[in-house]
Amino acid sequence: MFLSGLDVVALLVSVVLWAVYSFVASRPRFYRHSLAYTTEQLRITWMRRMCDSEVRVADASLMGNLMRSVSFFASASILVLSGLVALIGSGERAFEVFQTLPLHDRGGNLGQFETKAVLLVCVFIYAFFQITWSLRQFNYTCIMIGAAPRVLDSDTEKDNFSRHAARLSAMAAESFNMGLRSYYFALAMLSWFISSWTFMLASVLVVYVTYRREFRSGSLKCLRHELEHIS
């Protein structure tokens, strides 16, 4: 077996923390207090106001900015994957260089090193799929915006469009968020090369930081205040 017992425990702890946090954060009871829910409500307002505007150049520009951010991380994922594949391909030479670095578990062997690198590749593959799916959903949102109701159309049609377009955009944002979360846990996974205990501690820290940003951040307070003002 390439991984030691402690390595397996550390990996399971990280995966469970990641899965449980993602599951709990998406439940309606908690989701309604999250940054994602607040921005979704603001997206509805954005889409509704767009329907009452003849000129929609600014809306198209905003969507373009969102998509450029997603595209950057999609490209970055490919670059990271290329580097990791090159690392695995180097085999023993890469492991020898790794052995010269400070602050790592010198009890490990080549098999453990390569297994950890392969698992890290899997995380970035998952991130790539989530981020590219986000990009496609933003593309679909752009298509919806192109087919948006005209100014003279009925309010009912505009309201229905606003809800559906905002929901699709929010789904794209959630996929992007899942991709970014993969990056966070991948960074925690890098500490696995130091020791299994460091990996577990880093995973707990990632969950804490992610929770603070999603449910307790100053950005959330500002967005909620603006949403209440609009309402």
Q: Place 5 in a pLDDT band, splitting at 50, 70 and 90.
A: confident
Q: What is the pLDDT of residues 162-200, one digit of tens each?
A: 999 999 999 999 999 999 999 999 999 999 988 899 999
List CB contacts of 81: < 8 A, sequence separation 6 or more.
Answer: 121, 124, 125, 128
Is the pLDDT score of 29 beyond 60? yes
164: containing domain: 5-230
Would you report the helix, strand and coil content of the chain in percent, each value rounded to 5? 85, 0, 15
Q: How far apart are CA 163 and CA 175, in angstroms?
A: 18
Q: How confident is the model at residue 1 (pLDDT cuts 50, 70, 90)?
A: low
Total of domains in the chain: 1
The tens digit of pLDDT for each residue in 83-107 reads 999 988 887 888 887 777 776 665 5
Pick from 88, 75, 87, 80: which is nearest to 124 by CA? 80
More confident residue, 113 or 20: 20
List the one residue out of 138, 163, 139, 137 whose CA is nearest residue 51.
163
Q: Return the exposure string of 46-55: e unless at least 16 CB atoms fall within 10 Å of the residue's CB, then b.
A: bbbebbeeee
Count of CB atoms within 10 A of residue 14's CB?
23
Are 71 and 135 in contact, with CB atoms under 8 Å apart? Answer: yes
The DSSP letter of residue 200 is H
CA atoms of 107 and 4, how far apart (whole Å): 10
